[in-house]
Chain A
């Protein structure tokens, strides 16, 4: 019988911020490096320009992105990258929910800057979901604190605390689903019509990353 003591592996390095430990296991360090690489790519790359071609004719139309819009979306994409990096390596349940909420709001910011009514409608609906998702997200963290008496993932990993109730995990997962819109890519497709490739992909990547991390968090306690 094989017993798994730690889901993500033994931490290589633990960085201490008071009670909030940031730990680098093989799992979290992989996700962290992925977020870091993409953030660097966002910083150095230029946005693509979309070209619409009318079939059956020679007409085409290039969409122009103003400098201020590009700057704002780049700022939001970098903030989103930093928030996902934080969410990847943090070792504290409440800190994880905070970083997840930040990923949600920066995702809204990335698409809200686009000057297309259709995209902005989609961003508005997505913003409503992200707003509502904070309730189960933080409620999940609160139930974690009430049922185990602790918020540290390292302590949850050790198995000395009482088991986390299933409902806390369910709340945490549905909160992350709402913030990252992970299964709702059909709705996010509306946002991907927005011009400016690297920034828009940041929405998708960050939601994927927080979803991968919440799987580890849920399996800890």
Chain B
């Protein structure tokens, strides 16, 4: 029996269906276990002001007056909330004329600083582009090798 299982596993093309089956079982179990408890006291509360032009990233507050940002360890990020956005003339123009500046956060220079993303959880923001960099390095290496 073990011999048969290991014979099945040694063909690497069987691994993807096997993993997919395992994932399906886990997710089905998740659906069966459903109502999961939801903790009302969330660490990073979010209030969305649909009328703000900086919409999903608007943490509010005039510049250089500290806005309260909820953090797990506020003593570790003393400067959080001081500058929640910096707008270059172009992005200021975009914010004045359109409703979509918040959705173009990566597409133009000078923008919105999400204090939770970039200040209290800054290490995540560093690791994410590193993953992207690695992915692009692999893709470009393979592309140059084939071409």
B-contacting residues of A (Cβ < 8 Å)? Answer: 16-21, 72, 75-76, 79, 86, 90, 92, 94-95, 98-99, 101-102, 105-106, 108-109, 112-113, 115, 121-122, 125-126, 128-129, 132-133, 135-136, 143, 145-152, 155, 161-162, 165-167, 170-171, 174, 177-178, 181, 184, 186-187, 189-190
A-B contact count (CB 8 A): 154
Interchain CB contact (< 8 A) of A18 among B23, B123, B145? B123
How far is the CB of A125 from the nearest CB of chain B, in Å?
5
Q: Which residues of A contact B137 (CB under 8 A)?
A: 72, 75-76, 109
Q: Does residue B100 face the partner (Cβ distance < 8 Å to A)? A: no
A146 close to B23 (CB less than 8 A): no
B37 close to A162 (CB less than 8 A): yes
Q: How many residues on chain B are close to A (CB under 8 Å)?
A: 48
Q: Does residue B48 face the partner (Cβ distance < 8 Å to A)? A: no
How far is the CB of B59 from the nearest CB of chain A, in Å?
15
B134 close to A106 (CB less than 8 A): yes
A105 close to B38 (CB less than 8 A): no
Interchain CB contact (< 8 A) of B12 among A136, A152, A187? A187
Q: Which residues of A contact B22 (CB under 8 A)?
A: 174, 177
Which residues of chain B in 120-147 are interfacial with respect to chain A, using CB atoms and an 8 Å cutoff? 120-124, 127-128, 130-131, 134-135, 137-138, 141-142, 145
Interchain CB contact (< 8 A) of A79 among B20, B26, B134, B141? B134
**How far apart sit A178 and B77, CA to CA, in the bound complex (Å)?**
35
Q: Which residues of B contact A165 (CB under 8 A)?
A: 33, 36-37
A95 close to B72 (CB less than 8 A): no
Q: Given that A19-B71, A171-B30 are contacting pairs, would A150 and B43 also be in contact in the complex, using a CB cutoff of 8 Å? A: yes
**How far apart sit A152 and B123, CA to CA, in the bound complex (Å)?**
13
A19 close to B20 (CB less than 8 A): no
Interchain CB contact (< 8 A) of B30 among A122, A167, A184, A186? A167
B131 close to A18 (CB less than 8 A): no
**How far apart sit A129 and B13, CA to CA, in the bound complex (Å)?**
11
Interchain CB contact (< 8 A) of B26 among A19, A92, A136, A189? A136
B127 close to A152 (CB less than 8 A): no
A19 close to B72 (CB less than 8 A): yes
Q: Which of A143, A149, A189 neighbours the largest number of chain B CB atoms within 10 Å of its CB?
A: A149
Q: Which of A19, A21, A76, A155 neighbours the largest number of chain B CB atoms within 10 Å of its CB?
A: A19
Q: Does residue B1 face the partner (Cβ distance < 8 Å to A)? A: no
0/1 interface trace, chain B 8-50, chain A, CB 8 Å (1 if under): 0110110110111011001101100100111111110000000
**How far apart sit A94 and B142, CA to CA, in the bound complex (Å)?**
30
**How far apart sit A76 and B9, CA to CA, in the bound complex (Å)?**
27
Looking across the interface, which residue of chain A has its beta carbon closest to that of B131? A102
Q: Given that A99-B127, A171-B30, A186-B9 are contacting pairs, would A18 and B76 also be in contact in the complex, using a CB cutoff of 8 Å? A: yes
A112 close to B142 (CB less than 8 A): yes
Q: Does residue B73 face the partner (Cβ distance < 8 Å to A)? A: yes
0/1 interface trace, chain B 56-90, chain A, CB 8 Å (1 if under): 00000000000000011100110010000000000
